[in-house]
Structure 1
Amino acid sequence: MRVLVVQNFDDTGLGQVGTALTEAEAEVDLRKPYLGDALPADGARHDGLIILGGGQNALADETHPYFPVLLGLIRDFAARDHAVLGICLGGQLVARAFGGKNQIGGATEFGWQRIALTDAAKIDPVLATLPQQFPIFEWHDDTFSLPDKAVKLAESGGVSNQVFRIGRAVYGFQFHFEADCKLVRTWSDIFADFICSHHPDWAERLDGEMAVNGPEADAAGLAIARNWVAAIRR
């Protein structure tokens, strides 16, 4: 199993998705196109594609000129029936690739939020094992409309479109299910100044909110990661 991982921002990381890939003995092909790494021409040599998050928005073609190439790559993987996973910015790019409209700003969620699954999630191979509601980590300001062929799988009280699927195994996630407590604490340290400028009380809130939400969120996130990896066809 060979999985292409597209990283869009420093210090993002695979988190619990990395754990699931390691368990499956997957080969990870990590590309950082924002630092100049080339993207493959197509998905012929990979079984799955993961697009991680980032601080930029999904329409930032001028500063990230590889975005149109990445959109084509997403569509190519889908046409080959290869699994695709977009997280946060990655999910917004998956939506854009299939005609969803990106909304820049006005959809801020930060910290652990409660997610509610839709009825369609009850038979979805990635989400069916999850409880109907659970907390998970969020960090975004943007959102998107669903592409025409997308199946909506989850929502939150603040942002309607949290998870969707296109076809068999193309998934867009708005929330950071890969971010377990360890990764959230790492981000809180690395991006402390940025977070403080937008959420000044986060350092005081972190430990308490992690104690309340962390165990349940970590369990849900790892289950999602394992279920998506299981959907990759070798």
Structure 2
Amino acid sequence: MRVLVVQNYDNTGLGQVGAALAEAGADLDLRRPYQGDPLPQDAGGHDAMVLLGGGQNALADEDYPYFPALLELTRDFADKDRSVLGICLGSQLLARAFGGDNHIGGATEFGWHKVSLTPAAKSDPVLAALPEKFPIFEWHDDTFALPENAVRLAGSAVAENQAFRLGRAVYGFQFHFEADTPMVRDWSTSFAATIAERHPDWNERFDDELARNGADADAAGLAIARAWVATI
């Protein structure tokens, strides 16, 4: 199992997705195109692809000129029935790749928030085993409209489209299910200046939010990661 991992921003790792891929014995091909790494020409050499998040928006082609090629590559994976996973920015890029509109700003969520599954999620191979509502880590300002033929799988009060599926196994997740407690702690340190500017009370409320939500969010995230890896 060879999996292409496209990292779009510094310090955005695989987290629980990486743990699930390691359990499955996957061979990871990590590319950082924002640092100049070339993208594959097509999906031929890989069984699946993961698109990670980032602080930029999904329309930032001028600053990230590899975006159009990445969208084309994503469509090739889907056409070849390879599993695809987009998280946060990755989900926004997936929506764009298949014709969904990106909405920049106006949908800010940060910290652990509740998401609710849709009725369609109850029969979805990745989400069927999850509770109807669960806390999960969020960090985004943007959102998107669903592409045509997408199956809406989850939403929240702030962002209606929190998870969707296209075809058999192309999944977009707005929320950071990969971000378990250690990763959130790391982000809280690594991005401390950015967080302090936008959410100055984060350090004060972190421990309480973690105590209330961390264990359930970690369990939900690992369950999603393992279920997605099983689609490959």
Pairwise TM-score range, normalised by the shorter structure? over 0.9
Once the two structures are TM-superposed, the CA of residue 158 in structure 1 deviates from its matched residue by 1.2
1:4 aligns with 2:4: yes
Once residues 85 and 70 of structure 1 are traced to their aligned partners in structure 2, the CA distance between those partners, rounded to angstroms, is 13
Q: How does 1:222-233 map to 2 (within 5 A)?
A: 222-232=222-232
| Equivalence for 1:85 | 85
Once the two structures are TM-superposed, the CA of residue 76 in structure 1 deviates from its matched residue by 0.1
Once residues 119 and 149 of structure 2 are traced to their aligned partners in structure 1, the CA distance between those partners, rounded to angstroms, is 17
User: What letter corresponds to residue 215 of structure 1 in structure 2?
Assistant: A
Paired residue total: 232
Give a deviation string over 1:100-129, Cα, whole Å, max 9, x none: 000001110000000100000000000001
Once the two structures are TM-superposed, the CA of residue 80 in structure 1 deviates from its matched residue by 0.2
TM-score, structure 1 length as denominator?
A: 0.99
Once residues 30 and 207 of structure 2 are traced to their aligned partners in structure 1, the CA distance between those partners, rounded to angstroms, is 32
| Equivalence for 2:169 | 169
Once residues 80 and 174 of structure 1 are traced to their aligned partners in structure 2, the CA distance between those partners, rounded to angstroms, is 24
| Equivalence for 1:189 | 189
RMSD in angstroms over aligned alpha carbons? Answer: 0.3
Once the two structures are TM-superposed, the CA of residue 186 in structure 1 deviates from its matched residue by 0.2
| Equivalence for 1:26 | 26
For 1:63, what is the secondary structure of its paired residue? coil
Once the two structures are TM-superposed, the CA of residue 131 in structure 1 deviates from its matched residue by 0.5
| Equivalence for 2:179 | 179
Once residues 197 and 28 of structure 1 are traced to their aligned partners in structure 2, the CA distance between those partners, rounded to angstroms, is 35
Give a deviation string over 1:2-23, Cα, whole Å, max 9, x none: 0000000000100000000000
| Equivalence for 2:126 | 126
Once residues 183 and 204 of structure 1 are traced to their aligned partners in structure 2, the CA distance between those partners, rounded to angstroms, is 18
Once the two structures are TM-superposed, the CA of residue 141 in structure 1 deviates from its matched residue by 0.2
Structure 2: gaps spanning 5 or more residues: none
Once the two structures are TM-superposed, the CA of residue 78 in structure 1 deviates from its matched residue by 0.1
Once residues 157 and 114 of structure 2 are traced to their aligned partners in structure 1, the CA distance between those partners, rounded to angstroms, is 8
Structure 1: gaps spanning 5 or more residues: none
Q: How does 1:32-51 map to 2 (within 5 A)?
A: 32-51=32-51
| Equivalence for 2:160 | 160
TM-score, structure 2 length as denominator?
A: 1.00
User: What letter corresponds to residue 104 of structure 2 in structure 1?
Assistant: I
Give a deviation string over 1:120-152, Cα, whole Å, max 9, x none: 000000000100000000000000000011000
Once residues 96 and 26 of structure 1 are traced to their aligned partners in structure 2, the CA distance between those partners, rounded to angstroms, is 28
Once residues 230 and 32 of structure 1 are traced to their aligned partners in structure 2, the CA distance between those partners, rounded to angstroms, is 25
Once residues 162 and 116 of structure 2 are traced to their aligned partners in structure 1, the CA distance between those partners, rounded to angstroms, is 9
Once residues 96 and 159 of structure 1 are traced to their aligned partners in structure 2, the CA distance between those partners, rounded to angstroms, is 16
| Equivalence for 1:138 | 138
Give a deviation string over 1:177-219, Cα, whole Å, max 9, x none: 0000000000000000100000000011111101110000000
For 2:81, what is the secondary structure of its paired residue? coil
For 1:55, what is the secondary structure of its paired residue? coil
For 1:138, what is the secondary structure of its paired residue? strand
Once the two structures are TM-superposed, the CA of residue 88 in structure 1 deviates from its matched residue by 0.1
User: What letter corresponds to residue 58 of structure 2 in structure 1?
Assistant: A
Once residues 203 and 5 of structure 1 are traced to their aligned partners in structure 2, the CA distance between those partners, rounded to angstroms, is 31
